[in-house]
Copies of this chain bind each other. A is one copy, B any other.
Amino acid sequence: MNRTLYDLTAADGTRFSPYCWRVKLALAHKNLAYETIPWHFTEKEALAASGQGKVPVLLDGANIVSDSQIIADYLERTYPNEASLFGEPPARALSMFVKQWAEMSLHPALAQVVVADIHRRLHPKDQEYFRLTREAMLGRRLEEFDATRHLALERLDLVLRPLRKLLTDQAFLAGEAPNWADHIVFGALQWGRLMSSTPLFQPGDALLGWMERVLGTYGLEGATPAA
C-alpha cells in the first residue's frame, strides 16, 4: 500500500514541524513504511483533498487524514496488531495531559526562542505568510525576538525543569519504551533544536540522551543533528 506524509520543510530541506515529527515517530512505532513529500506553508492547494490547509496530512492508501492527534487515533484503530501508541485507557488519558502541556506551555516557550530563526530559514515564498500569522499569534514583531533570546532561553529552561528531572529518573515519559506521549514532546524539542541558531541543550543534558534513545528505539540514529 502507498503511504505518504506531507512534511513541512524549510528552504534548505530541514523538516522541522513538531506535529509532523509526532506522526513520523508514530508511523515508526507501528512499523509502517512511508514516503514524505516536502511541503511549504503556502502550498495550501496541495492539501485540498484533506479539506483543510495544514500538515501533517497522511495519505494511507485511499484514506486522507489530517491533524496529528486524529492521525494517531486513526493509526491505532487501523493497525491494532502493531504496538499500541497509547497503552491502556489511563495511560492514553495521561498522554493527553502531556499533549496539553506540550502545546500550551512548551510550544509557546520554544516559539519565543526560535520564531525569528524559523523565519530566516523559510523559502522566500513562505516568509510573508509566516510573519503575518506568527506576529498575530505572538503579539510582537519578529525583529523583537532576537533581542530577548536570553530571557526566552531562561523561561524555556524553567518550563523544561519537570521533564529534565523525569528523564533523569526514567528512560521515557511512558517508562521503559516510548509511546505517543514521548512522540509529542520529542516533536517539540526536535522543532527547537533543528531551528534554533543557538544550542538549546548543553552536552550531557538528560533531554539529549532521551532524544537519542527515542531515535534509537526506531532505528533513526543519525537521521538528525545531535544538537
Report A's interface with B, CB cutoff 8 A: 87-98, 100-101, 103-105, 158-159, 161-163, 165-166, 169-170, 172-176, 179, 181
In the complex, what residues of B have CB within 8 A of residue A87's CB?
Answer: 88, 90-91
Query: What is the CB-to-nearest-CB distance from A101 to chain B, in angstroms, rounded to a whole number?
Result: 4
- In the bound complex, how far is the Cα of B96 from the Cα of A214, in angstroms? 18
Per DSSP, chain A at the interface is helix
Given A88-B88, A90-B88, A90-B174, A169 and B96 touching (CB < 8 A)? yes
In the complex, what residues of B have CB within 8 A of residue A166's CB?
Answer: 96-97, 100
Can you list 10 A-B contacts (CB < 8 A)? A87-B88, A89-B175, A89-B176, A90-B91, A90-B174, A90-B179, A92-B175, A96-B170, A97-B173, A104-B162
Copies in the complex: 2
B175/A93 in contact, CB under 8 A? yes
Shortest beta-carbon contacts, A-B, top 5: A93-B175, A100-B162, A94-B94, A87-B90, A91-B91
In the complex, what residues of B have CB within 8 A of residue A88's CB?
Answer: 87-88, 90-91
B105/A174 in contact, CB under 8 A? no
- In the bound complex, how far is the Cα of B46 from the Cα of A59, in angstroms? 65
A165/B93 in contact, CB under 8 A? no
In the complex, what residues of B have CB within 8 A of residue A161's CB?
Answer: 100, 104-105
A90/B163 in contact, CB under 8 A? no
- In the bound complex, how far is the Cα of B101 from the Cα of A165, in angstroms? 9
A97/B175 in contact, CB under 8 A? no
Counting chain B CB atoms within 10 Å of each CB, the highest count among A88, A91, A159 belongs to A91
Given A87-B88, A88-B87, A93 and B172 touching (CB < 8 A)? yes
In the complex, what residues of B have CB within 8 A of residue A158's CB?
Answer: 105
- In the bound complex, how far is the Cα of B185 from the Cα of A97, in angstroms? 12
